[in-house]
Amino acid sequence: MGEEAVKKKRHRELSDLLNSYSEQYYVFDDPDVSDARYDALYRELLEIEREFPKLKSKRSPSQKVGAKVPKIFKKVQHSTPMISLENAFNEADISAFIERVKKVSVTKDVELILEPKLDGLSASLIYNDGILTSASTRGDGFVGEDVTANILTVSSIPHKINMGRGSLEVRGEIVMLKSDFQALNKERERTGEKLFANPRNAAAGSLRQLDPTITASRKLTFFAYSAISTEKSFVSQSEILDTLKACGFVVSNKTALCKDQSEAFRFYKKIEKERAELEYDIDGIVYKVNDLSLQKQLGASTKFPRHSIAYKFPAEKAQTTVLNIITQVGRTGNITPVAELKPVTVGGVVVSRATLHNKDELEKKDIRVGDRVVLQRAGDVIPQILYPILKERPQHSVPFEFPLTCPCCGSILVREENEAAIKCINLSCEAQAIERLIHFVSKPAFNIDGLGDQNIRFLYERGIVKTPVDIFLLEEKNDELHLENFDGWGEISVKKLFKSVIAAKTITLDKFIYSLGIPQIGRSVSKLIANFLKTYPGFLKYIKNNEQNDLCKIQGVGSSIADDFNNFFKNENNRKIVIELGGDENFPGVISVSEIKEAESKIFSGQTVVFTGNLKKFSREEAKELAEKLGGRASSSVSSKTSFVVVGENAGQKIDQARKLNIKIISEDEFIEMTKDTQM
């Protein structure tokens, strides 16, 4: 295959991937790839198109803005296209932009106005004779969604302005302030609803509601940054911002009028440093030509205006302040130090806490209360403090003193030889009981909706739920409890909870074992043990007889894991709870534990399978369980040991990793075809 054919194939792959990511971002308000990853793929596409211009077409992401408007909203044609901005990633990109502008400018002196690039949902508001008459989203840049009824509920948007007669279009960004985002997610957690991933998703999801009362119930803010008038002639972007502010619109106060490039770079670095402290999310600085007549001369390409460019911030790291360091007790008694942080956005997610792992890690990094620290999200998921900025450390700072006693029950903490973990070994410790209950109802275990951390704590502290058995007796006790009358519950949420509890009363043996929270017994080990013991009676017989060495016969279960499993069931209370849950010959139990059946076919024996993207026919867990029943191993990451990757819709980085390693890639339908003759 020649070089052009290879590049053509890669261009097609990138186009599919980027178009899919755009739809997920603009239409579903649920991005499944980081900005940094999207930008890297987009730059690769542009490089190919520069080398082979004929590959550029209407289908190419380089020629499109946003995504098509969903059918659920009325379409609105924009009078002037709402095209997006070209991105810059370094000072050289900005220098090249300024040089291009200077070639068109008569004076050669270019005045730039710099504004924060807000991370929200672009919107257009139309005022006729000073009255707000319609509003729409950007959509694909040419056609947007009519969201007038929802926009009218946003308190920061004036319904009437003093601009005389004629038409005025105001453009800006709908955002959710960080404090409002935290309050919304806290309320959703309390009611057992799915949490929003970041303020941008929350803002977009709140505005694009069919029911305006939902939008009204959430605090949104509109930041105005552009105006197009049929009657008034503006001469500069700075005049537009001043006019919008005078009309009652919210306008960012983090703007600067810069006479030269060095001044503009200094402002960029200043805002990058302050970014974490802002009340709203930004992902870069927009460099705009201030002179509107020069803007008109520069014009626009099919996708970008030539008078503006967005200088993006690095997405991976942020700075914030350690407000406090606390210690938490985990479900296995491990004491974990946790830094409470001034809320900061890292990779699109607001972070207010970060684990410091253990005493050794805390002392090695020497993190202290009051420290300014550099933070990142490890693997794009777990908040991680990298190091303190020592030159900004408060003068009277002191090292954190690790406690000698449990912060919950006051018991003396112990540290076993050759272990990093410091533990509370008091089995009656209340914190461990709560954490075990939280683990018990989690999605990989009993998966009981409506029992989030807060509700578990509420029920435990009032003595309503002390052991897992109490969860399954809630409904019959509710004639006396009347949970629906307590703040934060309500009749609908209580009914949903009881429905979820009933659904959870049947569980497979592997999930049952996992739910108990035994040290070192994760999901994969639980499956190995369940496959070995086969049935709940077999499991019950094992823990009653305490056959110490049997588990070591299982490949993948070493003596350390077997010891933790066996030691857990030496505790009489633990054995009692298991029997109360699943029953024995003398006790009926409150749940049903399914048997583990051998699959008739082991077509995936010895193979490692990775699933990525949104599957239509299975949930991700169901697909993994099927692969494992057929002898395979389901992994969450792609490596040289991966046998094949099953790809659903909107697949992420794993598909690229598989291509680089020349690993077989199949569709969900192909996976189903491979398994259709097997027993499930």
| pLDDT tens string 240-297 | 999 999 999 999 999 999 988 999 999 999 998 888 788 898 889 999 999 999 999 9
Q: Summarize the confidence of residues 657-679 as an average pLDDT.
A: 78
**What contacts 24+ positions apart, CB below 8 Å, involve 401-407?**
402/327, 402/335, 402/337, 402/359, 402/362, 403/327, 403/335, 406/329, 406/335, 406/431, 407/326, 407/327, 407/328, 407/329, 407/335, 407/431
| Rounded to 5°, angle at Cα 80 from 103 and 26 | 100
Q: How high is the pLDDT of residue 324?
A: 96
pLDDT of residue 157 exceeding 90: yes
**Sign of the alpha-carbon torsion through 600, 603, 604, 606:** positive
Quickly state the pLDDT bin for 26 (edges 50, 70, 90).
Answer: very low
Q: How high is the pLDDT of residue 71?
A: 46
Closest among 250, 256, 429, 255 to 327, alpha carbons compared = 429
The CATH code of domain 608-675 reads 3.40.50.10190
Q: How high is the pLDDT of residue 470?
A: 93
The CATH code of domain 316-424 reads 2.40.50.140
Q: How high is the pLDDT of residue 97?
A: 93
Quickly state the pLDDT bin for 381 (edges 50, 70, 90).
Answer: low
pLDDT of residue 315 exceeding 60: no
pLDDT of residue 599 exceeding 60: no
pLDDT of residue 566 exceeding 90: no
- Tokens 């672009």 correspond to 122
Ranked by mean pLDDT, which of 313-327, 389-403, 537-551, 566-580 comes out on top?
Answer: 389-403
Ranked by mean pLDDT, which of 397-406, 543-552, 635-644 comes out on top?
Answer: 397-406
| pLDDT tens string 97-110 | 999 999 888 776 78
Under a CB-based contact definition with an 8 Å cutoff, are residues 533 and 525 in contact? no
- Compute the distance between CA of residue 408 and CA of residue 406 in angstroms, rounded to an integer: 5
Within 10 A of 437 (CB to CB), how many other CB atoms are there? 24
Quickly state the pLDDT bin for 174 (edges 50, 70, 90).
Answer: very high
For residue 158, give both structure tokens: 């004036």
| Rounded to 5°, angle at Cα 195 from 193 and 200 | 135
Quickly state the pLDDT bin for 126 (edges 50, 70, 90).
Answer: very high
Under a CB-based contact definition with an 8 Å cutoff, are residues 15 and 56 in contact? no
The CATH code of domain 430-594 reads 1.10.150.20
| pLDDT tens string 29-39 | 445 455 566 66
Catalytic residue among 9, 74, 108, 117: 117
Residue 224's beta-bridge partner residues?
172
Alpha carbon 420 to its chain centroid, in Å, reads: 30
DSSP state of 33: S
Under a CB-based contact definition with an 8 Å cutoff, are residues 310 and 117 in contact? yes
Quickly state the pLDDT bin for 578 (edges 50, 70, 90).
Answer: very high
Q: How high is the pLDDT of residue 614?
A: 73
Alpha carbon 517 to its chain centroid, in Å, reads: 25
Q: Summarize the confidence of residues 660-678 as an average pLDDT.
A: 79
Quickly state the pLDDT bin for 393 (edges 50, 70, 90).
Answer: very high
Report the mean per-residue pLDDT for the chain. Answer: 84
In percent, how much of the chain has pLDDT > 70? 88
| pLDDT tens string 195-228 | 777 788 888 888 877 777 888 888 899 999 999 9
For residue 477, give both structure tokens: 């006790």
| pLDDT tens string 54-100 | 777 766 776 655 444 444 568 888 888 888 888 888 899 999 999 99
Closest among 459, 429, 447 to 332, alpha carbons compared = 429
For residue 136, give both structure tokens: 């729409």
Q: Is 312 a catalytic residue?
A: no
Cα distances (Å, whole numbers) of residue 25 to 31, 75, 200, 372, 582: 5, 19, 10, 33, 45
Instruction: Give, in words, the CATH class of 75-312.
Output: alpha beta
Q: How high is the pLDDT of residue 223?
A: 96
In percent, how much of the chain has pLDDT > 90? 32
pLDDT of residue 551 exceeding 80: yes
Q: How high is the pLDDT of residue 96?
A: 92
Q: Summarize the confidence of residues 3-29 as an average pLDDT.
A: 69
- Compute the distance between CA of residue 350 and CA of residue 34 in angstroms, rounded to an integer: 14
Q: How high is the pLDDT of residue 597?
A: 58
pLDDT of residue 235 exceeding 90: yes
Closest among 163, 202, 200 to 35, alpha carbons compared = 200
Q: How high is the pLDDT of residue 378?
A: 53
Under a CB-based contact definition with an 8 Å cutoff, are residues 48 and 11 in contact? yes
Domain parsing of the chain, residue ranges:
3-63, 75-312, 316-424, 430-594, 608-675
The CATH code of domain 3-63 reads 1.10.287.610
pLDDT of residue 527 exceeding 60: yes
First to last CA, the chain: 42
Q: Summarize the confidence of residues 336-353 as an average pLDDT.
A: 85
pLDDT of residue 574 exceeding 80: yes
